Amino acid sequence: MNTQKVVFLNKKLGTRMAGLLRIPTDFNLSRNYPAIVVTGPMLSIKEQAQSVYAERLTEAGYVTLVFDGTTTGESEGQPRGLELPDMKEDDIESAVDYLESLPYVDKDRIGGLGICGSGSYMSVAGVKDARLKAITAIVPAISDISKSPMMGFFKPEEEVIAAKKAYEEGKGDLQYLNFMPRNFDEGAAYYYTSRGNRRGYSSLVVSWSQLELQLELVKYNVPEIMKDMTKPYLVVTAENAWSKPASEEVFNAVPEGDKTMVVIPEAGHFDMYDLDPYVAEAFTSILPFFKRTLGTVE
């Protein structure tokens, strides 16, 4: 395959975004290709889990795009390390904008695949953006944030509000939360080893991001949004994933129709980022799903 560094614009935020565009080996400019936007876990960068999935999809004939989210990795945006659902939606929409601009991409055959936190973000994008024709969510982890292990990373709300106010008034430095401390054994086994340790990755998120994340049930209620999902939808979770309850809640909120949930036996949440046989087993469902919903190269 051909992997190209690309830059595209988040029009709503005015930020330039860094991406990796992958094109199949037998690329023919005269043909029309289906394309898939692939997004990764919270705070992740384009070289991590999302590229594992993008490479396999491109090997199967799809044009794929991964990118660093606004304020993350090589993309623009300040302050660095914000994790805001609305911003993530804008990023996904901007990625679709970019794919639509490519003359060899079939605008009617663009899909999305999201992993972990962006499994939920991508699911919501599938409801809101008519241009996305089919969605796959891998261990989607955001439903009711109050029940998530991430709550253990949060600081007292009044402390975070005070820190945000002080920073905005120029009276204090940025404060961060560590979303992947080394004592979180399962996550550390990915992020702090050769599996997922990549230059440019940081586990630090601006502390007031939690104010938005804690409002999920009010402002960004994923199950409530998913009640309006009408597109083909595939959820792949893992038998031993800490995120499995959230994945099931998001999936069950989708009306009956073209929806499928697959549970990978013996796998844990982070196993689904990059480890075989678990990822390979997931692709026995992912590829038939996208072949049926987006087709193949024409």
Cβ–Cβ under 8 Å, residues 246 and 253: no
19 located within any domain = yes
Q: How many domains does the chain have?
A: 1
| Residue 120 lies inside a defined structural domain of this protein | yes
Residue 202 resides in a domain? no
The reply to whether 153 falls in a domain is: no
- Confirm whether 56 is domain-assigned: yes
How is residue 79 annotated by DSSP? S
In whole angstroms, give the CA distance from residue 57 to residue 53.
6
> Is 183 inside a domain boundary?
no
- The b-or-e profile of 58-85 (16+ CB within 10 A means b, else e) is bebbbbbbbbbbbbbbbbbbeebbbbbb
Residue with tokens 């992947």: 180
Please give the Cα distance from 83 to 255 (Å, whole number). 29
Say if CB 22 and CB 34 are below 8 A apart.
Answer: no
Give the residue ranges of the chain where pLDDT is below 50.
Answer: 215-218
- Give the per-residue SS3 of 222-240: HHHHHCCCCCCEEEEEECC
Give domain status of residue 179, yes or no. no
The domain that holds 61 is classified in CATH as 3.40.50.1820
Distance of CA 254 to the CA centre of its chain: 19
For residue 284, what pLDDT is reported?
98
Residues 6+ away with beta carbon under 8 Å from 104: 27, 29, 31, 32, 33, 63
pLDDT at 151: 61
* CA distances, 61 to each of 25, 64, 267, 287 (Å): 8, 9, 27, 10
**Could you tell me the residue range of the domain that residue 13 belongs to?**
2-145+220-294
pLDDT at 289: 98
Cis peptide before 277 (omega within 30 of 0): yes
Q: Are 2 and 53 in contact (CB under 8 A)?
A: no
- Which residues make beta-bridge pairs with 39? 114
Instruction: Decide if 170 is inside a domain.
Output: no
Nearest-angstrom CA–CA distance, 176 and 178: 7
- Exposed/middle/buried for 18, CB within 10 Å: 0-12, 13-18, 19+? buried
pTM: 0.90
Token readout for 100 is 């639509």
